[in-house]
Amino acid sequence: MQEPVIGIDLGTTNSAVATVEGGRARIIPSRAGGRLTPSVVGLDSDGERVVGTPAQRMAEDQPGSVVWATKRFLGRRCTPELVEEARKLVPFPLIPGPTGDVRVNLAGKVLPLTQVAAMVLGELKLDAQAHFGKKVGRCVITVPANFDDNQRSATREAASIAGLEVLRLVNEPTAAALAYGLSTSFQGNALVFDLGGGTFDVSILEVKNGVFEVRATGGDSTLGGEDFDQRIVQWLVAQVEEPLREAVSRDTSSLRRLKVAAEAAKRELTQKEEALISVAALGDYTSANRRLTGVETVLTRSFFETLSEPLSRRCLEVCRTVMQDARMDPRSVDVVLLVGGMTRVPLVQRLVADFFGRAPSTDVNPDEAVALGAAIQADELVRQSGAALLLDVAGQSLGVGVLGGRVKRLIAKNTQVPVVARDIFLPSRAGQAEVRIPIFQGEADFQDDNRKLGEVVLRNLQAGQRAENQIEVTFALSSESILSVRAVDLRTGMAEQVRLEARPSLPAPEAAKLSQEQARYSSSQAWEDARGTEEKLRKLLEKGEKLARLLQRSAEENPSPEATAAVGTVRNLLDTGRAALEAGNSEQCATVTRQLTQVLSGRPA
């Protein structure tokens, strides 16, 4: 059998892993037993990592040892503005790394965010390995459609630290459309509205005969459920009695508990009209003469909708732009797919239904569709069956900084990828031996309003007249929207090594060290997981024996070919399981464990 491949939805709040088995995409359950893994990472008192649900639990009483929602800052430059933006969203401070990358202080240890993401990916990889009983190395990972070049590169870096080979990065909404399209044989225009914990994406795709062609995409990488929670937190802080309000608004532990309560209330309001919020013992825990207070209040659904109004307006503005970019009328959309946990909020569903003039489809699971689509794409990349062809677009424009602080666009937003674009540039002065051409990503006309990706540095130019030193700059944007740049001095034909200097990736020795650390952790966990599976299999064999005896008795009392076959099936499984345990065959143990669990739970195999 071929080495298994997996699809990973690396989410801001939750992550999921899926695979294609027996021709169908399925979520791989986590070893903790759930279908989703919270994207939360902590370090316990022994400095050991804790990831997922246990880390989420740890956040309750050790908020300083846990980080979450870090995807919002992944691959960005750690500027003072970003640190300030983060201060409003999360209680842990961001710290700049040596290349300007973002790091966090976790229980006294400074970790690059790519390492934090690698820990989550590593956990999903272990879940997949436990599921298959063998090593898993290749995957497709999804990213928000509006992730820029640096954010995509950081995701690849995280995967590499986690020991995963990325077959392709796929945009989250595209993956969701793929999962929907293939499971329902849909043809037409599909609109994906993806509002998760930290990012918002909208894509419109035309689906025809297995070709999934993105017509336009747009979004806001700083808009998600966390912002809705923050609006509730601010409202709660405003209700804290004076003079403690200021202290509470700065206290990590108080803010963390307010945020947990706010999120719980938001979820409750999906079902009910009112939610009671009660948070005790708020105050400044760092102060010696500490006084504590509490907040007890009721949040109604309608007031939550008022609080969220500026955020919902931002969502609709994005929808409007995407429809304009696709030159389509909202009414020409044939199906609206809701993805991301936040699309469960009644307000969001209402806004979408009003805007597109149709109720969203109920055929997609908003938490799982992205991972399922990633698994389908991974399977397709390996098997090359031709069942689905993805044609995606550049989520943001790319250009070169020119005189007057302006940007000359080489690749426009929504251009189909992969794409290659070239242009000729001149040095700004005659006789220059070196030119630096800055590269920007974004939609604004001026450099300052775009994100600088780096600089093309061309050295050893032959001194000459300005017009003689023509430099050809080539942008190649891959099918996963990662940019590579080449610059050629047309006079000499010399192509210089071009570096995207602002890409905040880790220094190579540090990346290598983190990969080794992760590999060590992974192999000791995999060993423990294999022992865990064997233990589980032993218990299942005992239960299976009882089932076999029961089936045997009933076959003797009411003989039939079906009854005899049922006994045979269970007996076969038991024999294979015992042989697998004897031989220490992890893959076989994992397979029989899955099959026996299915048989014993009465579900069809």
Nearest-5° angle of CA 454, CA 457, CA 462?
160
Are the C-beta atoms of 232 and 305 separated by less than 8 Å?
no
Tell me which of 75, 196, 399, 438 binds ligand AMP, using CB under 6 A: 196
For ligand AMP, the closer CB: 367 or 379: 367
Please list the residues that pair with 214 across neighbouring strands: 205
Decide: is 13 part of the binding site for ligand AMP (CB under 6 A). Answer: yes
**In the set 133, 181, 225, 373, which binds ligand AMP (CB under 6 A)?**
225
| Pairwise CA distance, residues 127 & 28, whole Å | 7
Determine, following the binding rule CB under 6 A, whether residue 142 of this chain makes contact with ligand AMP.
no
Whole-angstrom Cα distance, residue 374 to residue 392? Answer: 14
Cα angle: 143, vertex 146, 149; to 5 degrees:
75
3-state secondary structure of 92: coil
Return the residue of 173, 340, 438, 442 that touches ligand AMP, per CB under 6 A. Answer: 340
Tell me the Ramachandran region of residue 433: left when phi exceeds 0, alpha when psi lies from -120 to 50, beta otherwise.
alpha
* Contacting residue, 4, 6, 12, 284, with ligand AMP by CB under 6 A: 12
Hey, how many other C-beta atoms are within 10 angstroms of the C-beta on 301? Answer: 19
Pairwise CA distance, residues 3 & 379, whole Å: 11
Catalytic residue chosen out of the listed positions 123, 127, 149, 172? 172
Find the binder of ligand AMP among 4, 75, 91, 341 (CB under 6 A): 341
Which one is catalytic: 9, 148, 227, 510? 9
Q: Which stretch binds ligand AMP (CB under 6 A): 123-131, 137-145, 261-269, 552-560?
A: 261-269
Q: Nearest approach, Cβ of 564 to ligand AMP (angstroms)? A: 48
Q: Among 12-20, 239-247, 447-455, 534-542, which window interacts with ligand AMP (CB under 6 A)?
A: 12-20
Q: Which is nearer to ligand AMP, 14 or 19 (CB)?
A: 14
Would you count residue 197 as binding ligand AMP (CB under 6 A)?
Answer: yes
The region of 53-61, 337-345, 381-389, 524-532 touching ligand AMP under the rule CB under 6 A is 337-345
Residue of closest CB approach to ligand AMP: 225
Which residue is it, tokens 């989550």?
A: 120
Q: Based on CB atoms, which residue is closest to ligand AMP, 11 or 330?
A: 11
- Type of residue at 456: V
Q: Judged by CB, which is closer to ligand AMP: 311, or 589?
A: 311
Q: Specify the residue, 70 or 593, whose C-beta has the smaller distance to ligand AMP.
A: 70
In whole angstroms, the minimum distance from the beta carbon of 346 to ligand AMP comes to: 9
Which residue out of 127, 148, 149, 194 is catalytically annotated? 194
Nearest in space to 5 (alpha carbons), one of 120, 116, 134: 134
SS3 content of the chain, % helix, strand, coil (to 5): 45, 25, 30
Residue of 266, 301, 503, 594 that binds ligand AMP (CB under 6 A): 266
Strand partners, 166: 139
Catalytic residue among 71, 134, 413, 452: 71
How many chain residues touch ligand AMP (CB under 6 A)?
17
Pairing of strands 40-43, 419-425: unpaired
- Amino acid residing at 449: D
CB of 584 to ligand AMP, least distance (A): 38
Please answer whether residues 232 and 242 qualify as being in contact, where contact means their C-beta atoms are separated by less than 8 angstroms.
no
End-to-end CA distance of the chain: 19
Q: Would you give the distance in Å from CA 391 to the centre of its chain?
A: 20
From 236-244, 263-271, 410-418, 425-433, give the range in contact with ligand AMP by CB under 6 A: 263-271
Block residue for tokens 């079906």: 562
From 428, 423, 429, select the one nearest 399 (Cα to Cα).
423
Contact flags string 343-382 toward ligand AMP, x per CB under 6 A: -xx---------------------x---------------
Is 71 annotated in the active site?
yes
Residue 426 CA to chain centroid, in angstroms? 40
Task: Tell me 65's DSSP state.
Answer: G
Q: Is 273 a catalytic residue?
A: no
Indicate which residues carry an active-site annotation: 9, 71, 172, 194
Residue numbers at the binding site for ligand AMP (CB under 6 A): 11-14, 196-197, 225, 263, 266-267, 270, 340-342, 344-345, 367
